[in-house]
Amino acid sequence: MAEFALIEEIRRRCSVPRADVLLGIGDDAALLLPRSGNELAVSMDSLVAGVHFPHTADAFDIGWKALAVNLSDLAAMGAEPAWATLALTLPAIDTEWLAGFCDGFAALARAHGVALVGGDTTRGPLTITLTVHGFVPAGQALRRDGARVGDCILVSGVTGEAAAGLGCLLAHALLCEPDETDRAHLLERLNRPIPRVALGIALRGLARAAIDVSDGLRQDLGHIAARSGLAATIRTNCLPPSVVLSRVGDAAQRLRWQLTGGDDYELCCAVPPDRVPDAQVAAAALGIALTVIGHFDAGSGVRVVDASGNTVELPRGGWEHFSA
Ligand code: ADP
Ligand code: MG
């Protein structure tokens, strides 16, 4: 298969029709129709083999996750996904791998009505770079800088399970070997994250700030705190519990996964106390738990405290590419 047959295969397998795509894959540029009264949210994320996923990862999972992590960024802005472009760097053309990759990508693209409108294909170490575009009504985006003193900190779903999933793949990372069902659950959380797109949209007008949790809850919450010029406090006893985590790790390891593990793709947001019930009802309507885990104060940084208010020391952590 040559480059152009490969592009045709991607086009065929990933097609999602949209009325606002005037011209998609096949010309020198795509022609797209922006939505009036909306802002265009644009985000890009790369996945590099051996850094973001093991070289042995399943092609379907790579395709799924590449889109999921990008849609998660749009979710955190409260944007509705519309279009994607894909820069694919492959060591060689492997038709079976490509079919799996496209099927994983397309499964999530169809679920969210995302049209792949173009890209670029090159030879080199396996790297997937996606740009996603979405719409948000003017002035309604959920930014990182909108939290205020007294706002509650909420997190969707459960954090830490993807990190424990990674632990399943590394020798001696788990205190207790999980049974088949737990192992499958943890690996699913690692390999097939569900971007919280509908939740992000539902939080428009309720949350004052939001971020998606990709590099660890404590570190990502720190970005809201810094951009909003505030201090954040997390209460460990308020963190959403996971029965699966409680079976594979002790309390200390659980806390590390929940607060510093990466790859959760949950949303963390700032909501004024009087809007918390509305936000939780809106999340519940989507079948998603939205848990109050702390609050914002004047100051800076992120403090983690236990039920008695004592500071809990955690190892430095949270994913950073260029840290020593
Ligand atoms: P050009 O040389 O003009 O940049 P290309 O040969 O790179 O054109 O691409 C031809 C068409 O295929 C373009 O519409 C481009 O957007 C699309 N395309 C190339 N690679 C990909 C890819 N990996 N995924 C989706 N579309 C792609
Ligand atoms: Mg090109």
Q: What is the pLDDT along the chain (324 residues), one digit of tens a residue?
A: 788 999 999 999 999 999 999 999 999 999 999 999 999 999 999 999 999 998 899 999 999 999 999 999 999 999 999 999 999 999 999 999 999 999 999 999 999 999 999 999 999 999 999 999 999 999 999 999 999 999 999 999 999 999 999 999 887 778 888 999 999 999 999 999 999 999 999 999 999 999 999 999 999 999 999 999 999 999 999 999 999 999 999 999 999 999 999 999 999 999 999 999 999 999 999 999 999 999 999 999 999 999 999 999 887 766 666 664
Q: What is the DSSP letter of 139?
A: T
pLDDT digits (tens, 9 = 90+) for 128-157: 999 999 999 999 999 999 999 999 999 999
pLDDT digits (tens, 9 = 90+) for 179-238: 999 999 999 999 999 999 999 999 999 999 999 999 999 999 999 999 999 999 999 999
Asked whether 7 lines ligand 1 (CB < 6 A), one says yes
Closest CA to 151 of 233, 212, 215, 239: 233
Q: Residue with the nearest Cα to atom 13 of ligand 1?
A: 26
Q: In percent, how much of the chain has pLDDT > 90? A: 91
Torsion of CA 118, 320, 247, 55, to 10 degrees: 50
- Give the Å distance between the CA of 122 and the centre of ligand 1: 10
- Give the Å distance between the CA of 104 and the centre of ligand 1: 20
Residue 87: beta bridge partners? 120, 129
Instruction: Confirm whether pTM is higher than 0.85.
Output: yes
- Give the Å distance between the CA of 7 and the centre of ligand 1: 7
Q: Residue with the nearest Cα to atom 11 of ligand 1?
A: 26
- Give the Å distance between the CA of 11 and the centre of ligand 2: 14
Longest dimension (CA), the chain: 64
Torsion of CA 206, 212, 213, 217, to 10 degrees: -40
Asked whether 119 lines ligand 1 (CB < 6 A), one says yes
What residues have CB less than 8 Å from 5, skipping those under 6 apart? none
Asked whether 25 lines ligand 1 (CB < 6 A), one says yes
CA of 87, closest atom in ligand 1: 23
CB atoms within 10 A of CB 264: 29
Q: Which ligand is nearest to the CA of 31?
A: 1
The phi and psi torsions of 259 (rounded to 5 degrees) equal -105, -25
Q: Residue with the nearest Cα to atom 2 of ligand 1?
A: 28
- Give the Å distance between the CA of 35 and the centre of ligand 1: 24
